[in-house]
Amino acid sequence: MDKAKAVLYALLAAVFYAINVPVSKLLLYHVGPTSMAALLYLGAGLGIGIMSLGSRQRGEKLSRRDLPFVIGMIVLDIAAPIFLMLGISHGSSSNASLLGNFEIVATTVIALLLFREVVTKRLWGAIVLITASSILLSFEGSEGFRFSLGSLFVLLATVCWGFENNCTRNISSKSTYEIVIIKGLCCGLGSLLIAVIKEEQMPALRYIALALILGYVAYGLSIFLYVRAQRILGAAKTSAYYAVAPFIGAFLSFLLLHEKLTAMYLLALAIMLAGTALVVADTMIRNHAHIHQHTFVHSHDGSTHSHTITHAHDHNHLITEGTHGHHHSQKELEQALRS
């Protein structure tokens, strides 16, 4: 029963996030793109903040050591939604929804380059297909080889979120409430300051209220449900269910905005589906491995010496579904041998 509930949470998280693009497209007729990004994040921060008041389980708080990742998360989360709103305002909602899957590519490549994470052949195949689909969706194709400005803005947003995902990954064990509240309020206020500097006209009160509600549902509540699903399903399977979000967003775009289906879009959709299927297969089939850092204290008390040394050190800790091992640096091994 818990697993069925977790699957429902994961799918609801995908649905809630999927409504962001088409509904934002409608609101952008009345709200500036930077102001829209600000209101979406403020809605998430305020909404989850109110939810946290009734929660007894807050989780471990963020510490000073987490500050670089928190700053990175905030800066990138200010830039990403602004790029997304600019992309939606300059292009089609359906294209923007599908292009959201490029975040998978950005996150994976950044994790590979910065954190040396393993990328399977299946995932490399998905990266190639999703990238090819993203190029097709970005190509205007009417006169010469010219890329759509709106699509390029959306791709910039996904790259920012790719970096942001890798920052957030390093603090994901801490309080979800605190992370979402800080992300929502700081990013919202940062974007609002940019909107004021740009002299964007503030929208009518009813559109402010609608944007805040959308932010709470599409950003705040979506993240909250995603984390709840993760606790039971694990990160890999939850992300597989969440991969349906861009396709739900594209469907809603056709339903709400009556956008036309083009031959180029249908070809890109087929390739994107194939790429997403490989991502789902990769996360559902293979043993999921990840590396995280933590500190623990232990004792060395061998028969060759008469003293016990207790020390603390940081090391990488590799966990898979079937194995559990430690990876120490050469320096740490030498210190252990000397002790």
Distance in angstroms (rounded) separating the CA atoms of residues 143 and 87: 20
Q: Secondary structure of 19-33 in the HEC alphabet?
A: CHHHHHHHHCCCCCH
pLDDT of residue 235: 55
DSSP tag of 321:
S
Place of tokens 């549902």: 217
- Give the chain's mean pLDDT: 78
Q: What percent of the chain shows pLDDT beyond 70?
A: 77
Read off the amino acid at residue 292.
Answer: H
pLDDT tens column, 44-95: 999 999 998 887 766 788 888 999 999 999 999 899 999 999 999 888 888 8
Residue 197 phi, psi (nearest 5): -60, -40
Q: List Cα–Cα distances, 61 to 57, 64, 81, 177, 328, in angstroms.
A: 11, 10, 26, 10, 27
Distance in angstroms (rounded) separating the CA atoms of residues 28 and 85: 8
Q: Where are the domains of the chain?
A: 2-285, 292-338
- Choose between 329 and 280: higher pLDDT: 280
Q: Which residues contact 71 (CB under 8 A, 6 or more apart)?
A: none
Q: What DSSP string describes 40-60? A: HHHHHHHHHHHHHHT-S---P
What sign does the CA torsion over 227, 230, 235, 237 have? negative
Stated pTM of the model? 0.71
Number of alpha helices (DSSP H) and beta strands (DSSP E) in the chain: 15, 3
